Amino acid sequence: MIPTSFPAKDEIARLTARTLLEVGAVHFNSREPFTLASGLPSPTYIDCRKLISYPRIRATLMDFLAVTTMRDAGFEAFDVVAGGETAGIPFGAWMAERLALPMAYVRKKPKGYGRNARIEGVMAEGDRVLLVEDMTTDGGSKLSFVDAIRDTGATCAHTSVLFSYGIFPEITRTLGDHGVTLHSLCTWWDVLAEARAQGHFDAETLAGVEAFLNDPRAWQERNRS
C-alpha cells in the first residue's frame, strides 16, 4: 500500500532514531571501540538488521522511507526497486510493495554458476531502478551495486537507506560523481540527540561519541590499535 501521509523530515529523523534506540540497534562504547568492516575503530555501531524482527517498527520506517523517496525523487520516478545483498533484500522487498513496483536484488559478486548472474529478478534495459539498502557509511559500497544495475542497460540514479552515518562529507562527492542521489531517514547526529533526550547512555559515553562525530577521521587515527 502506497503511503499517503507526509511527516516533516525532522520528525521522521527523530522517530527513526527513537526506534533504533528502542530495539537496541544502537551501540556506543568510547572506551572499547568497535572495529568496522573497514578495519577502522569507532565508538559507534549500528545494527539495522534487527529491525526485520519488529513488524510495527519496520512497517513505520518503510512508510517513512517511501514518502521520503517519493517527495525527494518524484512519485513516478522508478520502474524497479532493487535490494542490495544481503541486508538490503528485505528492505528492498518492503519498499517495492509500498511503491507498487517490481522487485529485484543485486548480488555482491557474480553467482559463480548457472547464468553467473549478479541481478536476480526482472530488470530490463531502460528501467529506472531505485537501489535500497539498510544503511551507508561513506557511500563507497553502493557503487558496485549501481554499476551492476547499469550493466543491464537500466539506469540507477537514486539509492535509499534507513540510516546514513552523516559524518563523512565525502559521501556527497562519492555518490554524486557516480550520478547517484542518496535518500535517508536519519544520521548519527539524530541518534545522539534522541539518546540524550531519552536518557540513553551516560554523559561520558555521549560526550565521547560526540567527539567522534565532530571529527571521525582524527578520532580514528588517535584510537588505532
- Domain CATH number, residue 85: 3.40.50.2020
d(CA 91, CA 94): 5
pLDDT at residue 60 above 70? yes
Return the pLDDT at 224. 81
Answer whether residue 6 shows pLDDT above 90.
no
Residue 72 within any structural domain of the chain: yes
Cell numbers that stand for 71 in this block: 517527495
Residue pair 13/185 in contact by the 8 Å Cβ criterion: yes
Tens of pLDDT, residues 119-169 = 999 999 999 999 999 999 888 889 999 999 999 999 999 999 999 999 988
Q: Tell me: the pLDDT tens digits for 204-222?
A: 999 999 999 999 989 988 8
**Residue 4 within a domain:** no
State the chain's mean pLDDT as an integer.
93
Query: What confidence score (pLDDT) does residue 95 get?
Result: 98
Listing DSSP states for 26-63 in one string gives EEE-SSS-EE-TTS-EESEEE-GGGGGG-HHHHHHHHH
Helix, strand and coil content of the chain, in percent to the nearest 5, comes to 45, 20, 35
Residue 134, phi then psi, degrees to nearest 5: -80, -35
Flag whether 194 is in a domain: yes
| Pairing mode, strands 128-136 and 155-164 | parallel
Cα distance between residue 113 and residue 128, in whole Å: 27
* Residue 106 placed within a domain: yes
Report yes or no on 82 lying in a domain: yes
In a domain, 3, yes or no: no
**What mean pLDDT do residues 65-79 have?**
96
Q: What is the pTM of this model?
A: 0.93
* Within a domain: 1: no
Please tell me the distance from the alpha carbon of residue 102 to that of residue 111, in angstroms, as a whole number: 21
Give the residue numbers spanning the domain of 148.
9-222
Confidence tier at 31 by pLDDT (50, 70, 90)? confident
Of 161, 3, 155, which is closest to residue 79 (Cα–Cα)? 155
Q: What is the pLDDT of residues 74-132, one digit of tens each?
A: 999 999 999 999 999 999 999 999 999 999 999 998 876 656 689 999 999 999 999 99
How many domains is the chain built from? 1
